[in-house]
Amino acid sequence: MNIKFSRRRFLATGAGALGTIAMPYLSRAADRPAVTHGVQSGDVTVDGGVVWARTDRPAQMLVEVATTDSFKNARALPPIAALPESDFTAKMLLENLPGGQDIFYRIRFRDLSHSAVEGEAVVGRFRTAPADRRDVSFVWGGDVAGQGWGINPDDGGMFTFSTMRKHRPDFFLHSGDTIYADGPIASEVKLADGKIWKNLTIPEKAKVAETLDEYRAAHKYNLTDDNVRAFNAEVPIFVQWDDHEVTNNWSLSKELPAAYKERDIALLAARGARAFHEMYPLRESISEPGRVYRQICYGPHLDVFVLDERSYRGPNGANLETEYGPASYFLGPEQMAWLKRGLLNSRATWKVIASDMPLSLVVSDTPKGGSEAFAQGDGPVRGREFEIADILRFIKTAPISNVVWLTADVHYAAAHYYDPNKAQFQKFEPFWEFVSGPLHAGTFGPAALDNTFGPEVRFVKAPGKDGQNLPPSAGMQFFGHVKIDGASGQMTVTLRDRADVALWSTTLDPRLA
């Protein structure tokens, strides 16, 4: 039975049977297990969330949780093991928390072989989702450490995370390409103006990731950035994956380039998936271990539907089928059915569909040719577009109000308005799709639009043909910011750059069902 705790009861039960964690004095920090890559929280709902940390040896993760930063009357939770099998990572689901409340958590590790030896604590915080109609604010984006642009201290490191942190968002929706496992990071890159971009490097990032430890190292590399760690300690992450968590444009038909000694794409995908799940605080599914798609209910105004457009897709080919079948799967039948059920049953004002790839931007799988994304080019519905047509038709006929799509992947910022009157397929209600990113990678674009679903570009910020793969120092790093007004339910979407300049904004009025 789940018991809901008020703030008073939460505090009353917190200092009970388990007491507080005592930390013995040790003369040298090296004698104690350390928190090596900061702390993270994620998948926060009205009464709980997941916390994460990593240490440097076999140890027990010790977590205290409180509603004040003083940790007075903190609740100490039972320890859990961090073992070599998980690269010394551990995550814990915190439950029975009060809704709409600032939650402070403190993590340290206790040596598994020496129970008197405990390390220094690291503190994080998050706010549980509201039980009432208060304001909600979140940021989103994707694409981190891509195209060889790593952590450059002379450029401020992964500076966009510092900019996003200043907005004090309730959470961060990471739209995928959390790493570039296929992208080596050299110590220096010569820029077009003759200057030198200098990366911090680690041995594992000198080549494409193939072993499990190399995939893990790509995630840990990002977590060495000061901006990222400070952001993670204050802002919960709702994370999804895309292709670069494994390799560029991967599907089970992927023909690996010569840089790979391991030629089994299914094995690489399994290793990439394991590292991904180890390194982020996402809730795990008992029914399908390793599942990425999930619904996160964030109070009366917002449900977030996090999609997985990698695990169930058919091969990257021409995808020009005129009937729906396995060759044109992108989400796959089970995930499609889950999404429809979730949308139909949602009572939230806004339903945000977090898609790691845009709906109508043409993304080819070169040099092999064929399609990497949903879009198959101008014309009637074909191949993977059958799934989008089915979802849009379902939203219209159910009917379901206030659905917004958020995405990244293409390394520029854009706002697309979908109008059935301008579409080849017209059985849907008008809707918006917003694109952001990269957060810290090369800037590209813009890409061509497919007219099947009638997209209209309302805004775009991209380098153009004369300036592809711009470095982060060029300033064209983008994130999106969403605010939902608690009283009116209005949603304001703003596209920003890493200097926090508001490039474009729109306010959407909720439609009553």
pLDDT value of position 317: 87
Q: What is the mean pLDDT of residues 80-85?
A: 98
More confident: 199 or 18: 199
Residue 169 has pLDDT above 50, yes or no: yes
Q: Are strands 171-174 and 237-239 parallel, antiparallel or unpaired?
A: parallel
Report how far Cα 28 is from the mean position of its chain's Cα atoms.
Answer: 37
Supply the pLDDT for residue 464: 83
- The first and second tokens of residue 175, run together, are 């739209």
**387 three-class SS:** helix
- pLDDT one-digit tens code per residue, 398-414: 999 999 999 999 999 99
**CA-to-CA distance for 176 and 143, rounded, in angstroms?**
6
Domains and CATH numbers, the chain: 7-127 (2.60.40.380), 136-508 (3.60.21.70)
Decide the pairing of beta strands 136-141 and 502-508: unpaired
pLDDT of residue 23: 43
pLDDT at 380 over 70: yes
Residues 472-484, mean pLDDT to the nearest whole number: 97
**Helix extents (H) in 256-370:** 265-279, 333-345
Whole-number Å distance between alpha carbons of 348 and 295: 12
pLDDT surpassing 50 at residue 16 = no
**257: cis peptide before it, omega within 30°?**
no
Query: CA angle at residue 486 from 485 to 488, to 5 degrees?
Result: 70
Band of the pLDDT at 466, cuts 50, 70, 90? confident
Res 8 pLDDT > 60: no
Question: What does each C-alpha distance from 251 to 6, 270, 371 come to in angstroms?
Answer: 47, 12, 11
- Residue 467's pLDDT band (cuts 50, 70, 90): confident
pLDDT score, position 308: 98
* Cα 78 to Cα 73: distance, rounded to the nearest angstrom: 16
Report the candidate in 447, 301, 287 with the shortest Cα–Cα distance to residue 366.
447
CA distance 282 to 263: 29
Q: pLDDT tens, 211-233? A: 999 999 999 999 999 999 999 99
pLDDT of residue 29: 66
- Give residue-wise pLDDT tens across range 138-149: 999 999 999 999
Per the DSSP assignment, residues forming a β-bridge with 304 are 296, 352
pLDDT in the model for residue 364: 86
On the question of pLDDT at 66 being above 70, the answer is yes
Dihedrals phi, psi of 265, to nearest 5 degrees: -65, -35
- Cα 353 from Cα 343, distance rounded (Å): 9
Structure tokens at 498: 């890493």
At 25, is the pLDDT very low, low, confident or very high (cuts 50, 70, 90)?
very low
Res. 426: pLDDT tops 80: yes
pLDDT for the residue 512: 80
pLDDT exceeds 50 at position 278:
yes
With a CB cutoff of 8 Å and minimum separation 6, the contacts of 154 are 198
pLDDT in tens, 329-377: 999 999 999 999 999 999 999 999 999 999 999 998 876 667 899 999 9
Confidence of residue 28 (pLDDT cuts 50, 70, 90): low
